[in-house]
Amino acid sequence: MIKVVIVEDEIPAQINLKKLIEKCCDQSRVVATLSSVRSTVKWLEENPQGADVIFLDVELSDGICFDIFDKVAIDAQVIITTAYDNYAIKAFRVNTVDYLLKPITESDLRCAWERCKERIELQSQPNLETLLDIVSKAGAPKDKEYKKRFIVKMGEKIIIIPVEDIAYCYSEDKSTYAISRNGTRRLLDYSLDMVQEMLDPKIFFRISRSYIVSINSIENISKYLGTRLKLQLTPHSDDEVVVSRSRTSDFLEWLDNN
């Protein structure tokens, strides 16, 4: 079960949110309901692994929820719930999963919950030592299942991006974007490192710190500054898309084998 903590200072709102979570969030179990910065900090200090997801109201009885981040480390996934939209930038800075405006709709909650589950699943992937232990005891591991689609929220709309439609992904100003074959750009809720882990390496290759490209998006390749390679992609990128020197050899091998 996914352990959920509700931080909300209004009792009716606590009750309504708990009912909504029970209805819309599969595999969830509410383990604590708190109402202040002080009580939340105390609970988190006493239960460092006690929460997987925290629903966090902004304005609490003794301050605002962002004070909590200054007092205690939070490893759980955080969903901000508030009646105000002027805290969105602060929410982004503390790396929240979603920012839900009250009254919270079932569709918005389900979408945020799916993001939480995806992040929790990524964090729970076993490390190399564990994988080697599994292999030694049970033989080769099963083929990894890669992501088939990304879900993007745009206002009141939910956009589905099939992975097969993605030409390339890139990072810019700490944000990650996916470019579809028709040239549409969508902001993803993951870092480029996370996206790399989600995509099939037979189809997608991380050519640099900033770009992941699909083999089907590469129109041509040319030499660039000695041993480096420059790619022309479809659809066209305004940036110079260059394979980093340290990845050139692996890139050429990837092209040859796929």
pLDDT tens digits for range 3-33 = 999 999 999 999 999 999 999 999 999 999 9
What stretch(es) of the chain map to CATH 3.40.50.2300? 2-123
Q: Which of 13, 28, 131 is nearest to 76 (CA)?
A: 28
Sign of the torsion angle spanned by Cα atoms 208, 210, 214, 216:
negative
What stretch(es) of the chain map to CATH 2.40.50.1020? 148-257
List C-alpha distances in Å: 217 to 72, 165, 179, 231, 234: 45, 10, 10, 10, 5
Q: Which residues pair with 134 in a beta bridge?
A: none
Tell me the pLDDT of the chain averaged across its residues: 87
Between vectors from CA 34 to CA 33 and to CA 37, what angle results, nearest 5°?
A: 155
Q: Which fold has domain 148-257?
A: OB fold (Dihydrolipoamide Acetyltransferase, E2P) (2.40.50)
Structure tokens at 76: 């759980």
Considering the entire predicted model, what is its pTM?
0.50
What pLDDT score was predicted for residue 82?
A: 87
Q: In whole angstroms, give the CA distance from residue 168 to residue 15.
A: 44
Let me know: does 182 contact 173? Beta carbons within 8 Å: no
The half-sphere exposure of 190 on its side-chain side, counting CA atoms within 13 A, is 23
Q: Which CATH class is domain 2-123?
A: alpha beta
Largest CA distance in the chain: 67
Q: Where do runs of H (alpha helix) occur along the chain?
A: 11-24, 37-46, 66-71, 88-93, 106-123, 128-138, 192-198, 248-257
Q: Which residues pair with 170 in a beta bridge?
A: 177, 211
Q: Is-cis flag, bond preceding 141, omega within 30? A: no
What pLDDT score was predicted for residue 173?
A: 87
Give the tens place of pLDDT for each residue, 131-170.
Answer: 455 445 444 445 668 889 998 887 778 889 999 999 999 9
User: Got the DSSP string for 206-246?
Assistant: E-SSSEEEEGGGEEEEEEETTTEEEEEESS--SS-EEE-GG
